[in-house]
Amino acid sequence: MTTFRIRDGVEWVGVMDWDRRLFDELIPLPDGTSYNAYLVKGSQQTALLDTVDPPFAEVLFEQLASLGVERLDYVVAHHAEQDHSGTLPEVMRRFPDAVLVCTPKAKGMLSDLLELPADRFLTVDDGATIQLGGKTLRFIHFPWVHWPETMVSFLEEDRVLFPCDLFGSHLAQSNPMGEYGPCTLVAAKRYYAEIMMPFRAMIQKNLPKIEALPIETIAPSHGPVVQRPAVIMDAYRDWLADAPRNLAVVAYTSMHHSTRHMVRHLVDALAARGVAVEQFDLATVDLGKLGIALVDAATIVLASPTVLGGAHPLVLYAAALSNALKPKARYAAVIGSFGWGGKMVDQLAGSIAALRVELLEPVLAKGAPKAAELAALDRLADTIAQKHQGLRGA
């Protein structure tokens, strides 16, 4: 690894994890990730902002050594999750004069997770500052991005925002200062969908705290440094907006083609009526791509065969995922096939109860879909198209 200069006295000292493919044993990482830490050196004092995932601790110390760092006065913990904080015990051991800066809530969480000594903490109020000598760090409480203890930092003289997980992306690349292009924005949208979307209301509430700042650079805890802040901030405003787009997401699986036949008919019918559709075969899909589509969707269609009286487990998982991510969808529908009976509709409806969507009339076929069921799918397409009128892209 090598360090990268962001401003005079401001260095990226993080780690690229090229090979990681799963985060929290749940979130796919097709492009790896990074654990970004930053060093801010004033004329009088030095601060390290966040650390790295514990397996990469020695790389962090090599980064600091390459910059001649022999003393740290402050270590800022924006967030207690261990991919940022897990190396803190060793950092605090190697730099015995360092004070650990965090929110009051983070102190309790870091103590619980890492057993850090209480006398090493400095808890800061919302808006508090630390002077490093020509460099002022302002701390802004920003709870629920995506844990309750989170804060962000603003380096006032250099106009650099350190937002921790906010505005981040799981993306490993050779230069964290590289071009922030369309592919990076897709990675950021995936990250938003998988991690930030459940907390959309809290982000909306707190975003004005940083929108008023004269930000010139955004240095998140994952992914590349953003040197054109408007790109990611405008994208977030769009993703956070309450109004969905004219988009239906169809998540399905099919065992013997009956449900697949119904999905194809519905997708064609929706397209013919001017509704944008994204279709996902849950047997093979990267669930991160499903999450990206859910960011904008107005309607979610769950399509499943009946298995032992209920929905197929893959569709149940997609329903549970949607329920947890809490997208801004307004409508949902269940379609599928059955052999002799079951409670698939009730089961799936219960699995997305947190979404508070309007449930449209289900369409179920006994065995293969016949003319009556295909006509019902056409009526469902009519209903969705009508309800999408006036939405963005309609």
Q: What are the tens digits of pLDDT across the range 307-331?
A: 999 999 999 999 999 999 999 999 9
- The list of the chain residues with pLDDT below 50 reads none
Q: Residue 153 to residues 49, 144, 195, 219: CA-CA distances in angstroms?
A: 9, 15, 20, 10
Is residue 391 included in any domain, yes or no? no
Residue 229 lies in a domain: yes
The reply to whether 196 and 298 lie within a common domain is no
- 394 located within any domain: no
Cβ(51)–Cβ(44) below 8 Å? no
pLDDT on residue 2? 92
Number of H helices, E strands in the chain: 13, 23
β-pair type (129-131, 136-141): antiparallel
pLDDT of residue 180: 85
Quick one: pLDDT at residue 178? Answer: 85
- Domain-ending residue, one of 221, 240, 259: 240
Each residue's pLDDT tens digit, 112-132? 999 999 999 999 999 999 999
Give the HSE-up count for residue 74: Cα atoms under 13 Å, Cβ half-sphere.
24
Q: Beta-strand (E) ranges in 94-150?
A: 99-102, 121-123, 129-131, 136-141
Domain boundary, last residue among 201, 217, 240 = 240
317 shares a domain with 211: no
Q: Which residue type does 98 have? A: A
* Residue 297: CATH number of its domain: 3.40.50.360
Q: Is residue 323 part of a domain?
A: yes
Same domain for 225 and 362, yes or no, is no
| Amino acid 334: pLDDT | 98
Euclidean distance between CA atoms 170 and 141, whole angstroms = 23
pLDDT in the model for residue 25: 85
Spatial CB neighbours of 198, under 8 Å, sequence gap ≥ 6? 146, 324, 325, 326
3-class state of residue 54 by DSSP: helix
Verify that 290 and 176 share a domain, yes or no: no
Helix, strand, coil content of the chain in percent (nearest 5): 35, 25, 40
Alpha helix segments (H runs only) across the chain = 57-66, 82-85, 88-94, 104-114, 182-191, 200-206, 208-211, 229-240, 258-272, 287-296, 313-325, 344-351, 371-387
Total domains, the chain: 2
Compute, in degrees rounded to 10, the torsion defined by CA atoms 15, 16, 21, 27: 60
Domain boundary among 240, 269, 297: 240
Domain encompassing residue 303: 247-385
Q: Would you say residue 232 lies in a domain?
A: yes
Instruction: Tell me, yes or no, whether 33 lies in a domain.
Output: yes
